[in-house]
Structure 1
Amino acid sequence: MSERVEHLRAQVGIELAGKRLDQALAQLFPDYSRSRLQQWVKEGLVTLDGVTCRPRDKVIGGEWVDLEARLEDQVECKPQAIDLDIVYEDEALILINKPAGLVVHPAAGNPDGTLQNALLHHDPELIQLPRAGIVHRLDKETTGLLVIARTPAAHKSLVEQLQAREFDREYRAIATGVMTAGGSVDEPIGRHPTQRIKMAVHPAGKEAVTHYRVLERFRAHTYLKVKLETGRTHQIRVHMAHLRYPLVGDPVYAGRLRQPAGASEQLRDALRRFHRQALHALKLGLTHPASGEWMEWETPLPEDMQQLLETLREDCQHA
């Protein structure tokens, strides 16, 4: 990995007197996370009036801080010319509408051809950010909105918003079975104890909260609006399966295809051909990291989900 070095200097204000050095640094250099600043202190890259210190050492005010910020090129994947559906773009953010089939970042079995490769081709400067600025993810076959940071300050702000549950994330989903009403699921999610590719509701898992509302009912399916409080891996898919209303087409959590009794051949065929989870990240809202303005975006349902809904409606009319 290559790196670039930025030499930064600031004076400790008297209002910071008595604070730990790492706390003062977080105020003086807000573009960087506290953990990164602590690491630089430990590596001897921060001096206080020319003297190296420990993160817990106290400042008295008036000292000069010199910081040698070392920003590594964080990714080893190569830029690739992959088309991106860019919904919005400015100096701090990129919003994309991710298609089904696009993996967000390289992993075992998907070494390239990912969103991260595409982003590095679109903006080579993103190599300086962790995972090319990607701060959250969607599963490979889930479609919809994703936000990418373009600067260290934007990345820090978006990660903090995510951790504080300040993103507004709204999904559309088609579930198997007829739900009588909406509700919430507050069940922890962790790795499945025996099937490692799966997640599961598990008492030792991390807190996970999903809210859902019925938008439309069909003979044997339900169209849902889903909102996330937390963002665990496979969260909506796991929680809906836990309720025994798995998402249509989910290859991991839905089990065998259940054809509704008396379904039209058109619907039977549509369900057989729907080979991904029927899940779309429709809306995304967040505080812009540079302007502080609340911003929201919305992207329409992908064509395959629109067609499935139309087929479900036609099946209802002929029931």
Structure 2
Amino acid sequence: MVINFGTASAAIPGPDDAESDDDQVWSASAHGVAPLIALAPMDAAGERIDRIAAQLFSQHSRARIQAWIEDGRLSIDGKPANARSKLRGGEQLSLDPAPDPASMAFLPEPIDFPVLYEDATVIVIDKPAGLVVHPAVGNWSGTLLNGLLHRYPELRALPRGGIVHRLDKDTSGLMVVARTPEAQTDLVRQLQARSVSRRYLALCWGRPASRSVDAAIGRDPRERTRMAVVSHGKPAVTHINCVATVDFDAAGGPVSLIECRLETGRTHQIRVHASHIGFALIGDPAYGNPRRTRLDRELLPHQALHAWRLAFDHPADQSRPELHTAPPADFVALAERLGLASALAALGDD
């Protein structure tokens, strides 16, 4: 099965798309958790409400309780409490704890994303840039996983909602998702065996020679939110093919269109390897050249990286689907501005 370059379909409507729980107000009591109730001790007269509440509801931190007071989740004798309220002693305090954001991580949400292909076994998605794949700190909702659970409710039964690999938030392109436990196990094994083919298009600074980068990647010891080439990291191999290079007047130097083929799939692998060999991706806020930060932001607010080709052994019949998808509009527009539009178009004709 081959799906030609640029034939990604519009988002396929999921079940009950006409109804969503966008307007539902999430509170602990609305989801079967009764408010916590306690009586203020008589010797609490004159004390601040947040201090006494922190003692009475000691399973929660004082900082969290203060935030809940600001949100109107604590009442005194049925009336909303004020953080500066002083107690008389003997009042009834009622606390309605907000749910832990992590508890909302696996809730269905109507998130829009294009589906390139689907059958009873797998789904192939053309992920937009800006969409987080999996819930985590800072992004407990509004993720691809939430959208998958809304569109395909059966994925609730699978670990990680059938997701077997990820793309960075601001990287666009193809992802395969399993719809059955057997398919998920099979795809994970293929990834481990490096038989899944993943090819990316990127726009970078400089004129890199076509080459393979074999350099282990791990957490940056100086900045734990970043990855880096480190001796103690996990093996990582990226094959880079320089498709075309032009001189870009605004930068006073060359820029290139490259194709990257992953042999491994480490976090931020292409971005880290490209930066490591001196050819950072245009627009990369984490691994870009600091001297070009302003120009990077002007050209593209995120890294110019798109997962454009994907091939894997279909878990159901062992056929070899090969899927292509065109880069998004902002990537194409940047290629035109740089003078690389013809090279990008020629790739699409292959």
TM normalised by structure 1 equals: 0.70
Please tell me whether Structure 1 or Structure 2 has the larger radius of gyration of its CA atoms: 2
Q: 1:117 aligns to what?
A: 146
Q: Measure how far apart 1:222 and its partner are.
A: 0.8
Q: 2:312 aligns to what?
A: 286
1:226 to 253, 257, 260: 260
**2:216 matches 1:188:** yes
- What are the superposed Cα offsets for residues 153-201 of structure 1, whole Å, 9 maximum, x if unpaired? 000000000000000110000011122x200000000000020110000
1:141-180 equivalences in 2 (<5 Å):
141-179=170-208
CA-based RMSD of the aligned residues comes to 2.1
Contact 1:101/1:141 (<8 A) preserved: yes
Contact 1:75/1:131 (<8 A) preserved: no
**2:288 matches 1:254:** yes
Q: 2:277 aligns to what?
A: 243
| Secondary structure at the counterpart of residue 125 of structure 1 | helix
Change (3 A) 1:242 1:314: closer
Q: Which has the higher contact order (CA 8 A, sep 6+)?
A: 2
CA distance in 2, matches of 1:273, 1:174: 11
Q: Measure how far apart 1:77 and its partner are.
A: 1.4
Q: Measure how far apart 1:255 and its partner are.
A: 3.5
Opposite residue 309 of structure 2, the aligned amino acid is K
Change (3 A) 1:153 1:315: closer
CA distance in 2, matches of 1:201, 1:76: 31
- What are the superposed Cα offsets for residues 184-228 of structure 1, whole Å, 9 maximum, x if unpaired? 000000000020110000010000000011111011211001100
Q: Measure how far apart 1:257 and its partner are.
A: 5.1
Opposite residue 229 of structure 1, the aligned amino acid is E
Following TM superposition, the consecutive aligned residue runs of length 4 or more in structure 1 with deviations greater than 4 angstroms are 268-271
Opposite residue 106 of structure 1, the aligned amino acid is P
Opposite residue 163 of structure 2, the aligned amino acid is I
TM normalised by structure 2 equals: 0.64
1:270-281 equivalences in 2 (<5 Å):
272-281=298-307
CA distance in 1, matches of 2:180, 2:225: 33
Change (3 A) 1:169 1:251: same
Opposite residue 200 of structure 1, the aligned amino acid is A
CA distance in 1, matches of 2:341, 2:112: 36
Q: 1:102 aligns to what?
A: 131
Taking only the aligned residue pairs, the percentage that are identical comes to 49
CA distance in 2, matches of 1:178, 1:300: 23
Q: Measure how far apart 1:256 and its partner are.
A: 2.5
Q: Measure how far apart 1:110 and its partner are.
A: 0.2
Q: Measure how far apart 1:95 and its partner are.
A: 0.4
| Secondary structure at the counterpart of residue 292 of structure 2 | coil
Opposite residue 315 of structure 2, the aligned amino acid is P
CA distance in 2, matches of 1:77, 1:315: 40
CA distance in 1, matches of 2:313, 2:262: 17
| Secondary structure at the counterpart of residue 279 of structure 2 | coil
CA distance in 1, matches of 2:330, 2:307: 14
1:1-319 equivalences in 2 (<5 Å):
77-179=106-208, 181-219=209-247, 220-256=254-290, 258=292, 272-313=298-339
Q: Measure how far apart 1:258 and its partner are.
A: 2.4
Contact 2:105/2:146 (<8 A) preserved: no
Contact 2:335/2:341 (<8 A) preserved: no
Change (3 A) 1:242 1:86: same
CA distance in 2, matches of 1:191, 1:314: 34
Opposite residue 290 of structure 2, the aligned amino acid is R
